[in-house]
Amino acid sequence: MLFTQELLDKSSLLRKKWEDEVKRVVAKNPDQKPEWSTVSDLEIKRIYGPEDIAGMDFENDIAYPGQYPFLRGVQATGYRGKYWTFRMFSGMGTAVTTNERWHYLLNNGQTGLSTAFDFPTLMGYDTDSPKAKGECGKCGVAIDTIEDFFDLTKGIPLGKVSTSMTINPPATILWAMYCATADIQGIPLNQISGTIQNDMLKEFIAQKTLMCPPDPSVKLISDTIEFGTKYVPKWNTVSISGYHIREAGATAVQELAFTLRDGMEYVEDVIRRKGLHVDSFAPRLSFFFNSHIDFFEEIAKMRAARRIWAKGMRERYGSTDERSWWLRFHTQTAGCSLTAQQPYNNVVRTATEALAAVLGGTQSLHTNSLDEVLCLPSDHAVQIALRTQQIIAEETGVVNTIDPLAGSYFVEALTNEMEEKAWEYIHKIDEMGGMVAAIEKGFPQLEISDAAYKFQRQIDAAEKIMIGVNKYNVENEEVDIPLIEIDETVEKEQLERLAAVKRSRDSRRVKECLEDIKKACEKGDNVMPYCIEAVKARASVQEICDVYREVYGEYRDPGIY
Amino acid sequence: MAKKIRILLAKPGLDGHDRGAKVLARCFRDAGFEVIYTGCHNTPEQIVNAAIQEDVDMVGLSCLSGAHTYLYPEVVKQLRDRGVTDIPVVGGGIIPDRDMQPLYDAGLKALFTPGATLDSIVDWINTNIAAKE
């Protein structure tokens, strides 16, 4: 019990008095609207008090940072020891252009790198594939072979800077390129650090960069977890992502529940398929959340996530190593909360969302640029977004104390409510036979579709407000944002680069390497060592993915709505 | 009873941002249209085949990767190459102003950009598209 009975009795008395007063005032001046809820439609009460959190147990539910259940953070020292990593997601055009942007960001005080790949790379196609036509370099950097990777990482100290790569179906290959590049530079694999997103379950649920069916997709992920555990101990081999689930239209609770259940699915697969002990690999699992516009809902979500993971790891998988219980996460502010209309307002939205992420205790943060809703961000817009983080860190004082909202009747009650609702989803998915089974039934996809449709209707009816979209609109607005354009010369250049690599490499060696990967796939062996050899021999992303597609089959989006 | 308007909703290219397409699929179904949604990652050729096979009254395209400048006109062109002139093609997404006219010139019948409400899209279809007899 957090409070004495005496205090609760007192509170009950005063609350009754307050309620009477509210009734009297509302009778004269009605509220602006009958219901008040979060952006995810979670109903919020007019006030919260001791009675809303009276059932909590201080030791088991709250405690201190660095203590189970890690509600208040995984690090004992909070942001005093180290701020979150300022990590801006970037990638465009060719590897050379992206390398320039990376140096620009590092020179501006960014502390970690994060790579955006173009669609052909994300989907495991080379620039010379007919499927890639028109897409090269548009949404990120085009990487076909390790030669592009050398250009991408030119002048970047791989042993010192941590690099995140948003790559999913071809994660084994891009990670192999990173490992091979380090190896060629003489940097031992146990010194490189970073993250590969490598979370296929959320691809089936939300983001839809798809290649092979769910089961072999999870197998490839377990390969990377196993390889990382043995040889690349400072690498986060999966970034279990709620970001895309949320962007696809999920509520905050759905994001929380589906993401954590995805994480549990990976844990179960590695234990079953690889026979590893949970505590040998779980400390390297990392997470990635969205920070949407509803301030307290986001903070509560992040706090609840830590507690759910800690409980789940201990109770479901018998983990005894505290580091396995830590939910460490990256955050990106919500792209879907930004508006093409009056785009400068996006700076304010992003700042609010970034503040929520910091109060929620994020370990790493990307802040969206004001123009990202329209195009790839300009240098200037990226700088404002990065400065937003720096202002929060170094001017606002919110970093002075850890988890400052703990003990707030409202924040604790909301955290509890979100945790409870998330567990309901998690148990429901357990009953379906796990996340792969749930995905095959279309369960998370349909839940998200429902939420997305409902939200769009609410926006159209102005029941939820987006400034500039359904309120305070500007007629015939002139948007004066300079749009970065990736023109066709990028595709032409990249095609020439790829052709040159294909001409100069030892094609017999490439063939042998691809044959080795095929055998490993067929036998169920770990593909990582073979991928590293193959990329060193200049095998391309698509050539290796074609092997995967051949052995495991190709997955088509069923288009569930 | 009048015949229902049949709509093919498709996502050309490699883009997987399907939130908009799926919201529209539901909206069209609720508005009384027949909807065929083919999921992500269709080539223009696959879309054109589906449009002809399903004998639809309209094709709606959604692409958010920036490749609309190539993919939308390509669908129109391939329909024409197959001798189909009675299936209008419309597109949606974040389409910069500078791309609008070239897309209309390429034969796109309508383009819906951020701020277009679901009802406004349904109204446009009811006004401009007729079910084939």
Give per-residue pLDDT as tens, B15-67: 999 999 999 999 999 999 999 999 999 999 999 999 999 999 999 999 998 88
pLDDT of residue A476: 86
The answer to whether residue A479 is domain-embedded is: no
The number of angstroms, rounded, from the C-alpha of A103 to the middle of its chain's C-alpha atoms is: 23
pLDDT of residue A338: 97
How far is A540 from A510, CA to CA, in rounded Å? 9
How far is A152 from A100, CA to CA, in rounded Å? 9
Facing residues of A434 across strands?
none
The answer to whether residue A492 is domain-embedded is: no
Which of B23, B96, B119 lies closest to A375 in CB terms?
Answer: B96
Query: Using the beta-carbon criterion (under 8 Å), do A138 and B65 form an inter-chain contact?
Result: yes
The answer to whether residue A307 is domain-embedded is: yes
Q: What is the pLDDT of residues A196-216, one digit of tens each?
A: 999 999 999 999 999 999 999
Longest distance between any two alpha carbons in chain B, whole Å: 43
Q: Which chain A residues touch B15 with a CB distance below 8 Å?
A: 119, 139
Of A485 and B98, which is predicted with more confidence?
B98
Assess whether A49 and A67 both reside in one domain.
no
How far is A213 from A222, CA to CA, in rounded Å? 15
How much of chain A exceeds pLDDT 90, in percent? 93
Query: Using the beta-carbon criterion (under 8 Å), do B94 and A373 form an inter-chain contact?
Result: yes
Assess whether A217 and A337 both reside in one domain.
yes
Q: In sequence order, what are the residues at sequence separation of 6 or more whose Cβ sits closer than 8 angstroms to the Cβ of residue B48? A: B75, B78, B79, B82, B84
- Residue A529: what residue type? P
3-class SS at A43? Answer: strand
Residue A154 pLDDT grade (very low, low, confident, very high; cuts 50, 70, 90): very high
- Residue A552: what residue type? Y
Which of B17, B37, B74 lies closest to A559 in CB terms?
Answer: B37
pLDDT of residue B115: 86
Q: How are strands ordered across the β-sheet holding A112-115?
A: A235-236, A194-196, A163-165, A112-115, A85-90, A364-366, A329-333, A285-291, A238-241
- Residue A330: what residue type? H
How far is B73 from B8, CA to CA, in rounded Å? 16
Kindly tell me if the per-residue pLDDT of B133 is higher than 90. no
Please give the span between the terminal C-alpha atoms of chain A, in angstroms, as a whole number.
45
Facing residues of A165 across strands?
A115, A196
Assess whether A273 and A366 both reside in one domain.
yes
The answer to whether residue A110 is domain-embedded is: yes
The answer to whether residue A128 is domain-embedded is: yes
Give residue for tokens 């791989």.
A158
Q: Which residue of A has its CA nearest to B113?
A: A340
Chain B: give the shortest CA distance to residue A197, in Å: 16
pLDDT of residue B1: 62
Write the DSSP symbol of residue A492: H
Contact with chain A for residue B94, Cβ under 8 A: yes
The answer to whether residue A327 is domain-embedded is: yes
Chain A: give the shortest CA distance to residue B3, in Å: 23
Q: What is the pLDDT of residues A486-522, one digit of tens each?
A: 888 999 999 999 999 999 999 999 999 999 999 999 9
For A474, the token pair is 């500007």
**Complete DSSP assignment for A239-279:** EEE-HHHHHTT--HHHHHHHHHHHHHHHHHHIIIII---HH
How far is A161 from A152, CA to CA, in rounded Å? 14
The average pLDDT across A128-147 equals 94
Q: Using an 8 Å Cβ cutoff, are A511 and A485 in contact?
A: no
Query: Using the beta-carbon criterion (under 8 Å), do B23 and A373 form an inter-chain contact?
Result: no
Assess whether A13 and A138 both reside in one domain.
no
Q: Which chain A residues touch B21 with a CB distance below 8 Å?
A: 561
Which of B76, B77, B66 has the alpha carbon at shortest distance from B99?
B66
Q: Domain end: A420, A438, A460, which one? A: A460
Q: Using an 8 Å Cβ cutoff, are A116 and A90 in contact?
A: yes
The average pLDDT across A427-456 equals 97
Assess whether A220 and A290 both reside in one domain.
yes
Longest distance between any two alpha carbons in chain A, whole Å: 85
Query: Using the beta-carbon criterion (under 8 Å), do B22 and A561 form an inter-chain contact?
Result: yes
Which of A295, A338, A296 has the alpha carbon at shortest distance from A466?
A338
How far is A199 from A239, CA to CA, in rounded Å? 6
Q: Using an 8 Å Cβ cutoff, are A343 and A375 in contact?
A: no
Q: What is the pLDDT of residues A13-70, one digit of tens each?
A: 999 999 999 999 999 999 999 999 999 999 999 999 999 999 999 999 999 999 999 9
Assess whether A48 and A67 both reside in one domain.
no
Q: Using an 8 Å Cβ cutoff, are B118 and A460 in contact?
A: yes
- Chain A interface, mutation test: which of B9, B11, B18, B118, most A Cβ atoms within 10 Å? B18
Q: Which chain B residues touch A458 with a CB distance below 8 Å?
A: none
Assess whether A21 and A124 both reside in one domain.
no
Contact with chain B for residue A331, Cβ under 8 A: no
Q: Which residue of A has its CA nearest to B16?
A: A208
pLDDT of residue A486: 83
Kindly tell me if the per-residue pLDDT of A258 is higher than 70. yes
Which of A201-205, A248-252, A426-430, B113-117 shows the lowest mean pLDDT across its residues?
B113-117
For A228, the token pair is 């990382």
In chain B, positions 18-77, which contact chain A (CB-CB < 8 Å)? 18-19, 21-23, 25-27, 37-41, 43, 65-67, 69-71, 74
Q: Which chain A residues touch B41 with a CB distance below 8 Å?
A: 123, 208, 210, 556-557
Write the DSSP symbol of residue A470: T
- Which residue segments constitute the domains of chain B, with CATH numbers given? 6-128 (3.40.50.280)
Domain extent, residue A35, equals: 5-53
Assess whether A158 and A192 both reside in one domain.
yes
Query: Using the beta-carbon criterion (under 8 Å), do B23 and A452 form an inter-chain contact?
Result: yes
Question: Domain containing A349 — which CATH number?
Answer: 3.20.20.240
Query: Using the beta-carbon criterion (under 8 Å), do A373 and B114 form an inter-chain contact?
Result: yes
Q: What is the pLDDT of residues A85-94, one digit of tens each?
A: 999 888 999 9
Q: What is the pLDDT of residues A333-374, one digit of tens each?
A: 999 999 999 999 999 999 999 999 999 999 999 999 999 988
SS (H, E, C) B9-75: EECECCCCCCHHHHHHHHHHHHCCCEEEECCCCECHHHHHHHHHHCCCCEEEEECCCCCHHHHHHHH
Contact with chain B for residue A405, Cβ under 8 A: no
Report, in angstroms and rounded to the nearest whole number, the Rg of chain A calculated over CA atoms.
24
The answer to whether residue A294 is domain-embedded is: yes
Q: Domain end: A444, A460, A476, which one? A: A460
Query: Using the beta-carbon criterion (under 8 Å), do B118 and A209 form an inter-chain contact?
Result: no
Assess whether A21 and A70 both reside in one domain.
no
Report, in angstroms and rounded to the nearest whole number, the Rg of chain B calculated over CA atoms.
13
pLDDT of residue B119: 96
Q: Domain end: A460, A477, A511, which one? A: A460
Assess whether A274 and A373 both reside in one domain.
yes
SS (H, E, C) A388-412: HHHHHHHCCCCCCCCCCCCCCHHHH
Residue A477 pLDDT grade (very low, low, confident, very high; cuts 50, 70, 90): confident
Write the DSSP symbol of residue A468: T
Give residue for tokens 């406004």.
B120
How far is A70 from A60, CA to CA, in rounded Å? 10
Q: Which residue of A has its CA nearest to B46?
A: A131
Query: Using the beta-carbon criterion (under 8 Å), do B18 and A210 form an inter-chain contact?
Result: no
Average pLDDT, chain A: 96
pLDDT of residue A82: 94
Assess whether A329 and A386 both reside in one domain.
yes
Residue A69: cis peptide before it, omega within 30 degrees of 0: yes
Size of interface A-B (CB pairs under 8 A): 106
| Domain count along chain A | 2
The average pLDDT across A527-553 equals 98
Give residue for tokens 């400034």.
A467
Chain B: give the shortest CA distance to residue A126, in Å: 12
pLDDT of residue A376: 84
The number of angstroms, rounded, from the C-alpha of A414 to the middle of its chain's C-alpha atoms is: 22
Assess whether A125 and A9 both reside in one domain.
no
For A131, the token pair is 């499927």
The answer to whether residue A346 is domain-embedded is: yes
